[in-house]
Amino acid sequence: MDLNSKVAAALGRISEVFKVLLWDHAKRLKLSPIQIQILNFIASHKEELCTISAIAKEFNVTKPTISDAIRVLENKEMIVKNSSPVDSRSYTMLLSPTGNQIVAETENFADPLKKMLSNTEDEDLELVFETLNKLIFQLNRKGVLTVQRICYGCKFYEKKGTNQYCNLLEKELLNRDIRLDCPEHVTNVPLI
Ligand code: SF4
| Mean pLDDT score across all residues of the chain | 90
For 12, the domain range is 3-111
Q: Are residues 40 and 127 in the same domain?
A: no
Q: Are residues 104 and 130 in the same domain?
A: no
Residues with C-beta less than 6 Å from any ligand 1 atom: 151, 154, 156-157, 166, 168-169, 179, 182, 184-185
Nearest CA to ligand 1 atom 6: 166
Please state the domain count of the chain: 2
Ligand 1 center–CA 154 separation, angstroms: 6
Q: Which of 45, 152, 155, 169 to mutate to test the pocket of ligand 1 (most atoms within 8 A of CB)?
A: 169
Ligand 1 center–CA 187 separation, angstroms: 10
Residue 75: which CATH number?
A: 1.10.10.10
Q: Are residues 65 and 88 in the same domain?
A: yes
Last residue of a domain, one of 111, 133, 166: 111
Task: Compute the distance between CA of residue 21 and CA of residue 18 in angstroms, rounded to an integer.
Answer: 5
Give the helix, strand, coil percentages of the chain, each rounded to 5. Answer: 55, 15, 30
Q: Are residues 60 and 141 in the same domain?
A: no
Judged against a pLDDT cut of 60, whether residue 130 lies above it is answered with yes
Is the model more confident about 9 or about 109? 9
Measured from the Cβ of residue 9, the count of other Cβ atoms closer than 10 Å reads: 10
Q: Are residues 83 and 25 in the same domain?
A: yes
Q: Are residues 70 and 9 in the same domain?
A: yes
Residue 139 covered by a domain: yes
Of 20-24, 64-68, 99-103, 126-130, least confident by mean pLDDT is 20-24
Residue 28 covered by a domain: yes
Q: Which of 167, 180, 182, 187 to mutate to test the pocket of ligand 1 (most atoms within 8 A of CB)?
A: 182
Q: Are residues 94 and 160 in the same domain?
A: no
The span from the first CA to the last CA of the chain, in angstroms, equals 39
Last residue of a domain, one of 92, 111, 130: 111
Tens digits of residue pLDDT in 1-35: 899 999 999 999 998 998 898 888 888 889 998 99
Handedness of CA 116, 45, 175, 17 (dihedral sign): positive
Residue 187 covered by a domain: no
Per-residue confidence (pLDDT) for residue 192, from 0 to 100: 47
Is the model more confident about 101 or about 188? 101
Q: Are residues 107 and 127 in the same domain?
A: no
- Highest average pLDDT, of 44-48, 54-58, 74-78, 184-188, comes from 74-78
Q: Are residues 90 and 163 in the same domain?
A: no
Quick one: average pLDDT of 121-149?
Answer: 89
Q: Are residues 22 and 89 in the same domain?
A: yes
Q: Are residues 140 and 96 in the same domain?
A: no
Residue 18 covered by a domain: yes
- Give the nearest ligand 1 atom to 154 CA: 4
Residue 182 covered by a domain: no
Residue 191 covered by a domain: no
Q: How confident is the model at residue 146 (pLDDT cuts 50, 70, 90)?
A: confident
Is the model more confident about 88 or about 136? 136
Last residue of a domain, one of 58, 92, 111: 111
pTM: 0.78
Quick one: average pLDDT of 58-83?
Answer: 92
Per-residue confidence (pLDDT) for residue 60, from 0 to 100: 85
